Chains A and B, each alone.
Chain A
Amino acid sequence: AQTVTQSQPEMSVQEAETVTLSCTYDTSESDYYLFWYKQPPSRQMILVIRQEAYKQQNATENRFSVNFQKAAKSFSLKISDSQLGDAAMYFCAYRGNAGNNRKLIWGLGTSLAVNP
């Protein structure tokens, strides 16, 4: 079975600085997708970034980028120029691409605080 591990329950960063959130996963599948979701205090789930496993190039969305290391099964999220609005829970998630197995496998989350 697939698993997702986020080893940092809490992180903090100074405003305008860069922070990296770690995520590792375990799978025997070769074709899958990885996601980072943000959940602010409003509890809305917001997709931050996604990565297709077959793509070697790391995904980037403005200040958010990932370091995808397929062999190491690592999928870290880098937030550059951190802003106060980035404070939230961040969840890493895995989804296979086999048949009807579309459900997301979630990490336990990392709570990110942004200090002014």
Chain B
Amino acid sequence: GAVVSQHPSWVICKSGTSVKIECRSLDFQATTMFWYRQFPKQSLMLMATSNEGSKATYEQGVEKDKFLINHASLTLSTLTVTSAHPEDSSFYICSAELRLARAPDQPQHFGDGTRLSIL
């Protein structure tokens, strides 16, 4: 099955640091990637949708200058949390999707998530 690799799985850093999270589709070309944030015992909250080669579309209330998303290739998207603060501590998950006109029912494939802790 389709595999999405997300790295790092866990990061602890000091307040004010910028942190980059990578999301790679290993065996397919992802036309669209999604970034989610999940608080403990809660559902996934979509942060942004990125299509390869274009600017990400951010959900309402998500600061695009705070959460920089780059989707430079069909297999890689990155989320950079700039000047991270303790309130940015959370679990971040990416997903990737291959959109095929002949098979529109392709599901999203998820990375294993990144646990971000800001001290």
Instruction: State whether these chains interact.
Output: yes
Interface residues of A (CB under 8 A from B): 33, 35, 42-47, 50, 52, 89, 91, 97, 102-104, 106-109, 111
Q: Which of A44, A50, A91, A111 is within 8 Å of B44, CB to CB?
A: A91
Q: Are A108 and B42 in contact (CB under 8 A)?
A: yes
A83 smallest CB distance to B (angstroms): 21
Contacts known (A44-B112, A102-B49); A107 close to B43, Cβ less than 8 A: yes
B71-111 CB contact bits vs A (8 Å, 1 = yes)?
00000000000000000000101010101000011011110
Complex Cα–Cα for A102 and B42 (A): 22
Q: Which of B38, B49, B104, B105 is within 8 Å of A103, CB to CB?
A: B49
* 14 more CB-based (< 8 A) A-B contacts, given A50-B105, A104-B108: A33-B105, A43-B38, A43-B91, A43-B93, A44-B113, A45-B93, A47-B107, A50-B107, A89-B41, A102-B49, A102-B97, A103-B34, A104-B44, A106-B44
- Provide the residues of chain A in CB contact with B104, threshold 8 Å: 97
